[in-house]
Structure 1
Amino acid sequence: MTDDLLGRHRAVLPDWLALYYDAPLEITHGEGRHVWDARGNRYLDFFGGILTTMTAHALPEVTKAVTEQAGRIIHSSTLYLNRPMVDLAERIAQLSGIPDARVFFTTSGTEANDTALLLATTYRRSNTVLAMRNSYHGRSFSAVGVTGNRGWSPTALSPLQTLYVHGGVRSRGPFAGLDDYDFVAACVDDLKDLLGHTRPPAALIAEPIQGVGGFTSPPDGLYAAFREVLHERGVLWISDEVQTGWGRTGEHFWGWQAHARSGPPDMLTFAKGIGNGMSIGGVVARAEIMNCLDANSISTFGGTQVTMAAGLANLNYLLEHDLQGNARRVGGLLIERLRAAAAHVPAVREVRGRGLMIGIELTKPGTDEADPAAASAVLEAARAGGLLIGKGGGHDTSALRVAPPLSLNVAEAEEGAAILEDALRSIQ
């Protein structure tokens, strides 16, 4: 039973391993956009295991690919030639937009960002890194060191000297009152001033849309403007696409493409959705950057045959069924439906996002003060109504995160929006 499982969980796992809900949920199986718990309750899933079940639960094409590959060989390590790994790397290199691209596979977004930081600091011979305020890049020692979100940064110790830049959050901070053009100009001026006070950094690492931060983003073009400043100084740009990748924003395949006037980033990192639940992460970089390491390296579990088979099957399905276009169409409907619902709820400060990546920020009515208790209450009410969503935000976890599988249909979007509207109204 779930109650017994909770006791066992608490007895052997860390206290800081977070669980959602006052009565934590055990999910036993899923299909399409729905999951079931151990008591047989059915839920519409608008979070996908933190944006990881990107396409659908129990997608037959992925299940078949995993089963067939597992029947041949599951793992051999990167010390041996691996056809599925090469096949997927070729596809990702082509889709990345990075010229002369090389791909290195990891098991998670944390490890992908850790690798990108290793490459950047080695290539540039500098341990100074620029990152965005309110950012999140993973839970490793180096990734925590470039995370600008207090709630996800358990230590101030770091092998890196990190300097935090304005611009990742459009509606808060000293430039929030400016229009988009002046906002970008002010952030660029701030970046130039910062660079004038420090030794040349190795790289800027930035999420095009901040995931854990509550699905916040700057105006389009900000990172292109940053890139022009950085390029003059030889500073690399790492686009953290762990949550924005594979068409989730609807308008673009990668988040960096909303900032594309200066071309692709020097590196991009990915994870989450490509494996549709299988553990895949990775880095794409120009060959001269990827090849800058002068010591041996392997990845024991990065790029295993079974995860690569899943990634290939999932990527093929995603492209053949235009799930990016579906995210744009159905996501556009969903965000407008949620904005209309939120207009009648004083606690909703902002509904923001793109495609199927939507954030709802809650504050105490009439103020800008975060209200994490309200966010938790809405999370519980949505579950009671049969809907699973997430939480995040840089201001005491006061933002709801809505990120369904990309195959979401219109009827499911309407159903989820209605449940979430009732949940929001319940806190008034």
Structure 2
Amino acid sequence: MTGLHERHLAVSPDWLALYYRQPLEITHGEGRHVWDADGNRYLDFFGGILTTMTAHALPEVTKAVTEQAGRIIHSSTLYLNRPMVELAERIATLSGIPDARVFFTTSGTEANDTALLLATAYRRSNQILAMRNSYHGRSFSAVSITGNQAWSPTSLSPLQTLYVHGGVRTRGPYAELSDDRFIKACVADLEDLLGHTREPAALIAEPIQGVGGFTAPPDGLYAAFREVLDRHGILWISDEVQTGWGRTGEHFWGWQAHASSGPPDILTFAKGIGNGMSIGGVVARAEVMNCLDANSISTFGGSPVTMAAGLANLSYHLEHDLQGNARRVGGLLIERIRAVGAGCAAVREVRGRGLMIGIELVKPGTDEADPDAAAAVLEAARAGGLLIGKGGGHSTSVLRIAPPLSLTVAEAEEGAAILADALQAAT
């Protein structure tokens, strides 16, 4: 055990998880690579939990942060803030939500917490519909709507949460159905649920479930849900903390895979927009955003420094078509990983879109999740010079692959080769 690890354990909560038997101290990064305190170089396929969206030490972002910090670091939302207004204007337009208003927070958890406040105040209801296997953050309200038991430490809640089928395509009672019948069954489940409860405020859903193991319903499920929700006046909150900003390649937002329903009533975002700076936020049409009848501010949400970073990062992203790169290079990467998985009895499924790929591991010959195998592959990949993540529903048995969106073809090939060796060595 290193001295820093011992010091970490002495001052940190027991529940603050660390990867690896010998935890890693990352000291610096460049592009798609990071280095540890011992000088080892790694290809980064997790990006600080899908947060380093463009690249490590991106010069355009570093310059924007430095220049803004040289002018003023902090002011709060009590004063006009040019970088905040400029980034809000761009996000409002990109969101697709008409007459959109944007409120900035410091994290995805806080963004979802704010969305829940808006929805419950607007609808005057504390009932929330959420998806099974979901994850929405670590605040008291967010854990209460999280449908993943491993990440929900208390049953106490300010909300009454009702869980809906549909977030996981290949497990559960509808797994054997065709996509069309799967959607119909999930809609019927939603209709039945609404027949036995008071009117909920909103449905909150990740278009692709992140912590849950990069699971997703068939395209069109949330459009079908939306028809039901609209009849009841129930709002739709799309949690885009992990799916936003073009990571899926095919769309800029995850909700666009269900685009026949139009944009959500409320959209939450975080992670990639700051490329490592602490930015989250909520977008909603004015009628919903303005429903609060009490004063509110944000001390740190919309900080001039983080907003400058977000503006520079978003500009780089759009100018270099990183969504298109995620589609092209991600398509290649998932093909390579599927070829590897086809020859590995421990791989149940390789799934995902763009640069958001999950590898579900099971005990060979069964459907039983194998978190020990996932932990072993994580270690073996690190030994080979590759950093990946893990997640999953009832156990952390899914390897999570989410590199920066500027990943090159050569780096994708290199990472797939390391991953193939790690799977062979550890399963």
TM-score, scaled relative to structure 1: 0.99
Residue 330 of structure 2 corresponds to residue 331 of structure 1: yes
Matching of residues 18-417 of structure 1 within 5 Å: 18-417=17-416
Q: Structure 2: how far apart are the matches of 1:60 and 1:243? A: 24
Tell me which amino acid in the other structure corresponds to 2:54.
T
**What secondary structure sits across from 2:247 in the alignment?**
coil
Tell me which amino acid in the other structure corresponds to 1:3.
T
Q: Structure 2: how far apart are the matches of 1:366 and 1:268? A: 41
Kindly state the Cα deviation for residue 427 of structure 1 after the two structures are TM-superposed.
2.4
Q: Structure 2: how far apart are the matches of 1:246 and 1:253? A: 5
Kindly state the Cα deviation for residue 190 of structure 1 after the two structures are TM-superposed.
0.4
Q: Structure 2: how far apart are the matches of 1:339 and 1:132? A: 27
Kindly state the Cα deviation for residue 395 of structure 1 after the two structures are TM-superposed.
2.7
Residue 1 of structure 2 corresponds to residue 5 of structure 1: no
Q: Deviations over 1:340-383 (max 9, x none)?
A: 00111000000000000000000001111110000000000000
Q: Structure 1: how far apart are the matches of 2:404 and 2:14? A: 30
Kindly state the Cα deviation for residue 426 of structure 1 after the two structures are TM-superposed.
1.1
Q: Structure 2: how far apart are the matches of 1:185 and 1:103? A: 34
Kindly state the Cα deviation for residue 15 of structure 1 after the two structures are TM-superposed.
0.5
Q: Structure 2: how far apart are the matches of 1:299 and 1:174? A: 44
Tell me which amino acid in the other structure corresponds to 1:127.
N
Q: Structure 2: how far apart are the matches of 1:186 and 1:162? A: 20
Q: Structure 2: how far apart are the matches of 1:210 and 1:67? A: 35
**What secondary structure sits across from 2:27 in the alignment?**
strand
**What secondary structure sits across from 2:351 in the alignment?**
strand
Tell me which amino acid in the other structure corresponds to 2:294.
A
**What secondary structure sits across from 2:249 in the alignment?**
coil
Q: Structure 2: how far apart are the matches of 1:94 and 1:419? A: 40
Tell me which amino acid in the other structure corresponds to 1:43.
Y
Tell me which amino acid in the other structure corresponds to 2:424.
R
**What secondary structure sits across from 1:44 in the alignment?**
strand
Q: Structure 2: how far apart are the matches of 1:76 and 1:296? A: 18
**What secondary structure sits across from 1:113 in the alignment?**
helix
Q: Structure 2: how far apart are the matches of 1:88 and 1:210? A: 26
Kindly state the Cα deviation for residue 218 of structure 1 after the two structures are TM-superposed.
0.2
Q: Structure 1: how far apart are the matches of 2:252 and 2:311? A: 16
Kindly state the Cα deviation for residue 145 of structure 1 after the two structures are TM-superposed.
0.5
Tell me which amino acid in the other structure corresponds to 2:62.
T
**What secondary structure sits across from 2:2 in the alignment?**
helix
Q: Structure 2: how far apart are the matches of 1:262 and 1:383? A: 42
Q: Structure 1: how far apart are the matches of 2:5 and 2:396? A: 23
TM-score, scaled relative to structure 2: 1.00
Kindly state the Cα deviation for residue 245 of structure 1 after the two structures are TM-superposed.
0.4
Q: Deviations over 1:70-116 (max 9, x none)?
A: 00001100000000000000000000000000000000000000000
Tell me which amino acid in the other structure corresponds to 2:247.
R
List gaps (5 residues or longer) in structure 2. none
**What secondary structure sits across from 1:50 in the alignment?**
helix
Q: Structure 1: how far apart are the matches of 2:196 and 2:424? A: 49
Kindly state the Cα deviation for residue 208 of structure 1 after the two structures are TM-superposed.
0.1
- Paired-residue identity, %: 86
Q: Structure 2: how far apart are the matches of 1:304 and 1:388? A: 30
Tell me which amino acid in the other structure corresponds to 2:56.
H
Moved over 6 A (4+): none
Q: Structure 1: how far apart are the matches of 2:261 and 2:419? A: 39
**What secondary structure sits across from 2:426 in the alignment?**
coil
Kindly state the Cα deviation for residue 68 of structure 1 after the two structures are TM-superposed.
0.2
Q: Structure 2: how far apart are the matches of 1:26 and 1:306? A: 25
**How much is the aligned-residue C-alpha RMSD, in angstroms?**
0.5
Q: Structure 1: how far apart are the matches of 2:88 and 2:426? A: 47
Q: Structure 2: how far apart are the matches of 1:165 and 1:423? A: 36
Q: Deviations over 1:325-345 (max 9, x none)?
A: 000000000000000001110
Kindly state the Cα deviation for residue 26 of structure 1 after the two structures are TM-superposed.
0.1
